[in-house]
Amino acid sequence: MWIMMAFGSALFAGITSILAKCGIQKSDSTVATAVRTIVVLIFSWVMVFVAGSQSQIGLIDGKTWLFLILSGLATGGSWLCYFRALQLGDINKVVPVDKSSVVLTILLAFIFLHEEISLPKAIGVVLIGVGTFLMIEKKDIPAKENKSGNRWFFYAAGSAVFASLTSILGKIGITGVESNLGTAIRTGVVLIMAWLMVYVTGKQHAVKEIPRKELGFIALSGLATGASWLCYYRALQEGPASVIVPIDKLSILVTILFSYIVFGERLSKKSCAGLAAIVAGTLVLLIP
């Protein structure tokens, strides 16, 4: 059952990017992020009550609170960068850069958490790094040539960096709290951060300007994120994390497939080779 849950997590995570892209065609990405976080927050607290861990909130110590908050801020930064990158660039270019966060996470875990890098893990890191480089070949960077140039790349890279920090800070913070409760608290921090960004940039009026159709897609992307988390944490309860995490990262295949079906985004031969390297690297990470 946990295998199915892990693949379910990858499926919903892949669909999230497509739904989010549909929801930010005309809507401001920062405002859309703030709105969808409301949906994710509701979903995450549903997870808390399903797991019955709400009573543990009073037992969380100061250090855990600190790292949960820092992790939430990093998550917020990652989401804001990611959805801005999706708005500016093609999905099949943005997603590989974002997924490269697994490489940075492994390196940061080695430096700060002293986690060992085995030979298979090192090979996986190299393959993912090479694959990502192939998928963002220089000639493809100006995806929206006269509109956004290569700005999408910097937002996507920022998303990857913040996602890596989220993993490291979250790993430290989650040790003192039940995982579902920790996720709900972090999501609350993301919500506050996202709406602060909306008001600081003076975009609060844009909430009323979101087209009804795009609002629906934004809400659906939040539900897809919540469904992905439900499957992911259910899988972690029953199966080994070393297998589940790489399976979850295979969401890139779902995203690129749907980006072709929905938006007609095609991969060049070089990008296909890069995708194959990323998938191979991810599968290699399954080796103990």
Confidence of residue 145 (pLDDT cuts 50, 70, 90): very low
Note the pLDDT of residue 140.
47
pLDDT at 154 over 70: yes
Confidence of residue 146 (pLDDT cuts 50, 70, 90): very low
- Which residues, listed in sequence order, are joined to residue 144 by a DSSP beta bridge? 149
CB 44 within 8 A of CB 86: no
Domain of 197, in residue numbers: 2-284
Burial class of residue 203 in the structure, from the number of CB atoms within 10 Å of its CB (0-12 exposed, 13-18 middle, 19+ buried): middle
Pick from 125-134, 137-146, 189-198: least confident: 137-146
Q: How many angstroms separate the CA atoms of 27 and 125, rounded? A: 36
Please indicate whether residue 137 or residue 54 has the higher confidence score (pLDDT).
54
| Phi-psi domain of 149 (left: phi exceeds 0; alpha: psi -120 through 50; beta: other) | left
- Which residues, listed in sequence order, are joined to residue 284 by a DSSP beta bridge? none
Domains in the chain, number:
1
pLDDT at 285 over 60: yes
Confidence of residue 242 (pLDDT cuts 50, 70, 90): low
Q: How many angstroms separate the CA atoms of 244 and 236, rounded? A: 7
Question: What angle separates helix 91-99 from helix 151-173, to the nearest 10 degrees?
Answer: 40
CB 178 within 8 A of CB 116: no
CA angle 252, 46, 82 (to 5 degrees): 30
pLDDT at 235 over 90: no
| Phi-psi domain of 52 (left: phi exceeds 0; alpha: psi -120 through 50; beta: other) | left
Residues in the chain: 288
Please indicate whether residue 2 or residue 16 has the higher confidence score (pLDDT).
16
End-to-end alpha carbon distance in the chain: 21
pLDDT tens by residue, 81-138: 999 999 998 888 898 998 888 888 888 888 887 878 889 889 988 998 899 888 875 5
> What percentage of the chain carries pLDDT values higher than 90?
40
